[in-house]
A and B are shown apart, each in its own frame.
Chain A
């Protein structure tokens, strides 16, 4: 490896200022005699200074005080986001907070159909709500058009939500104690 190659290996350390005094002296002595190496070192030094200047500009941009106009725009933006959120949430808040008057039962909130393993049996789970008071089984039958079907109310944790299973037919099945038979609605799979 010739001297120039060896000198250029230390270019980064020279730029970073991490050379010992002796090494720095040796390198600068070579640069005084070698135009090619001097040119390369000079370009790298200029690049390094340019990057430092660019860094300084970036710091100025980062540290600059946000203009009052921009601050006001940012504040209005924040206020409008909060206001829009409140408007969107308001119906939900009122729905929960305002006590509902006794009203006629409303259409079902959902209809969750579950098929049983037997294709000729259709089990449906109807969930109705809200209602202000107990709802009669007759009302459920009327709503679901379930005349001729069996409607079995299921316990619901929410007093306003009423759940009823509707079965098309009754099948004879073995009871849980084994050997006993009883009549109960065909269960879903």
Chain B
């Protein structure tokens, strides 16, 4: 997955930046501005779109309020249309109660606010033409100079036009959508009836082939539009064609689909799509597959297509907003219209299927796909939860780094195995699982290269591989022979050597739980380059097997010199609580409950022993390959009184960071000193005793509950 851009950096900006931002970019549009102003004026009451604001015309977004002046009688224009039948239903008006409440008036049939009523009343003033259009562009004039104008009004009077509002509803899938989402679609073909007069007022009626109709009233200073839907619109469209004896063959491209249109449709869909992933929808299930973009484009352009109006969304493929069915239909959006195409010749169906079979071909191109990582010499092992909020590192995620001794040989061996294409969900199901909260836990993969959260290539010891191509599409593969999976483990042992920093990370990680108990005195100092110094010292108890920890101490707050008391508890796996008080007054400075991966909660003091160890582990083996490759550290280790002292510093001369860690032979942290240009930090255990038979653990559960309850009270 690509990391989504977020311009968070601009938050909390200084006044100058804010002035620049507001001068260059609009923060609200006119509609929002108007709403805000009305709320301000009405003292926070909801803005009524229908309210007249000082005589200003009600603009097109108020369509849901407008009454329809079109006839609601059920008259078929006798003789105008052959065999047409129409749905009859009373026109829905906005409820009178709301009308009275908000605008003080009730719209009734024949109300001259409606566009059609205005036109009809003054029809003699206007001359009418009709134009055939494609994708909202004029193609050919069908009727000129009032020809058939009388028929127009009697025909329109006979139609049932249902007003379309823009309210949002929840559909049967539980998703919000516009109430008339399908009616609001525009199809490529339309007929525009245009009415012009000498006084620069004009009206147009655009009727699309699906029955969507748009009235527009224009004058010198304003334009009002209103959307309607004609039931049985396809029939109406066809009736109008007959009514005016329109020769559809004379309208170029109404039926033929040009090569230019197809190419533009494909390119625009691809570039407009924010997600170039391909999906297969079969038997009610959705799966991610690989579709080669070049194969997709060339196949479609190499076939002949004609226009259609309906696409069946069952058992189809989707790629960059284009849907394709195995029976030769294709649908998408082009130039603001919903388009459907169909293969002219069913004999071409086999050729069309090359598109969704292109994933199978990719297996043959594996060598080419893997070329992107041929020069890589580092690979990451990633295991555990794949997500943590706010981009933080999850407590249970493990990353380790290896040097690849011979990348070319490794890739050649991989390519020599037999692979076949598969789907993303096959890989996910086989190489991990979701916990009760829906968090995906990976069993582990080797990640090569860097592409956002994961690698360009992910290699799973269970015999799967995903590879990102140059267009950021993913190809998914699995071994044809399951027994070949053990060869992947053998290749890893042969070609991957764990880096020193990851070995240290591994040691520290294991050191958190591979003992029984610990009792120690601890000392902590954090000294800023300004001289400001935070201190804390006290006692630490750890019950490692049950993942419990208790710390209590006294110290000084360098910021204001006040004496502090702190209490930190971990009551099980990654479940912590803490509080820091003013020693003199007992006043709480801050407190909370916390889990390592929580991006929102207030963090405990940085001398939380277990999290401190985790932090060191994550620094040594960071989440992202990019971060690791810039780490660039030198390691030196030596024995000190039976313990291991490791010193690291950066290879970069300008980087003055230095870390010294002292570990027991089993990996428990005894001390850590870290310094950079801004501050120096030290943490040390002394008088420590491991695995004492007399060890007793404070009641972490009750301390945790006390802090948690106090925290919940303060939240109310």
Q: Do A and B come from one complex?
A: no
Binding site for B on A (CB under 8 A): none
